[in-house]
Amino acid sequence: MAVRFRSFWRLLFTALLVALPLLFIRQMPSGTQYDGLGYVIVVAASLLAAGAGAGWGAILRLLGVPAVVSTIVVCGLATLVAGSILWGQYVPSSCDGKSLLVNVAGQTLSLPSEMRPLVWSEEKQKYWANPERKREHSYLCGISENASRVISVKEIKINPVAVNKSLSAVCMASDPPSWCSNYSNHFMPLLVEFSISSPADPGKPAYYWNWDSPDVFRQGDVREGFSCLWDAETNLVRECAIWQPFGAEFRLTVETTNRLGDFEHLSIDEVREGMLAARSSLLSTIQN
C-alpha cells in the first residue's frame, strides 16, 4: 500500500512538472517561432534531472545505502559545486568599481569599470566589470591585486555605443570621477568598437581596405587609413573604420555602422570627423 501511495505522488509530480510549463506556453500570445522555447528547455532539463535522480536512487537501493546517507552525499556535493561557482565569481569590495590599470604599447591606461572593456591578458580574453561575466571580473581582480597593480595586455576592446548611457549617467552625477573631464558623449553613439591591438594580425584594416564593392571610399593605406562603405545611389553611409599605429607595435582602430540609421543624413566627411572626435574623447579618458 505504501509503495502504491509513493508511486501515485511521483506520477502526480511528474505530470505537474510537464503540465504547468505547457499551460504557461498556451497562455502566451503567439508571435515568433521561438515562443515558449525557454519553457521547453526548462522542462527538458527538469525531466533529465528527474531521470538522473531516479537512476541515482535505484543504484543506491541496489547497493543498500540508507536514504539518509545518500541525501547527505548529494547535498554535500551540491554545496561544494555551488560554493566553487560562487567563489569563482566573488569580487572583493576593494576591487568593485575600480578602474583597471593596463600596460599596452608601453603606455599605462586606466580603464573605468563603467566601460566594461574586454582585455587580452595572459593569453586569455576577459571582461572587466561586466555583470554578466563575474568570473572574468574576479579573475582580473586577482591578477591585478584588486586593481592596484598594472597588468600587461596585448589587446583592448570597448563597445562605446553599448556603454555610452552608463558613462554619461556617471559623469552627470553630483560627484563624477576625474576621467569625466575628458569624456564627451556627443559622437560616442557613432562607434561600435574602439580597439587597441597588435598589428601582427592585419585583421580589420585589411578587411575594410579590401572591401569588394564599387561603393568604397578609401584614404591612406593598410597601415594608417580610413575606409567607408556607402550607397552611391542614396549617398547613405553604411559602415566605416579608421585605423592608425599606436606606439611602436600596436594599432588603434575605431569602427562604426549605420544599422540603426544614427547618421543617415551625414556625409562621409561628417561621419569621419565624428568618429575622430569620439576616438579622441575615449583615448583621452583612458589616458587620464
pTM for this one?
Answer: 0.69
pLDDT tens for residues 31-57?
Answer: 445 455 656 666 676 667 667 767 777
Average pLDDT score, the chain: 78
- How far is the C-alpha of 99 from the C-alpha of 4, rounded, in Å? 63
pLDDT of residue 2: 43
- How far is the C-alpha of 243 from the C-alpha of 194, rounded, in Å? 10
Highest mean predicted confidence (pLDDT) among 104-113, 166-175, 236-245, 266-275:
104-113
pLDDT of residue 3: 46
Are the CB atoms for 250 and 199 separated by under 8 Å? yes
Residue that the C-alpha cell 506520477 belongs to: 11
Please check the confidence at residue 143 and state whether its pLDDT lies above 80: yes
Output b/e per residue, 36-58; b: 16+ Cβ within 10 A: beebeeebeeeeeeeeeeeeeee
pLDDT of residue 205: 65
- Per-residue confidence band for 175, with pLDDT thresholds at 50, 70 and 90: confident
In sequence order, the 6+-apart residues with CB closer than 8 A to the CB of 66 are none
pLDDT of residue 252: 92
pLDDT of residue 147: 92
Mean pLDDT of 88-105: 87
Mean pLDDT of 180-193: 79
Classify strands 100-104 and 107-111 as parallel, antiparallel or unpaired. Answer: antiparallel
Q: Worst-scoring range by mean pLDDT, 67-71, 91-95, 245-249? A: 67-71
The better pLDDT of the pair 112, 199 is held by 112
Type of residue numbered 176: P
Please check the confidence at residue 270 and state whether its pLDDT lies above 70: yes
pLDDT of residue 119: 93
pLDDT of residue 111: 94
Please state the length of the chain: 288
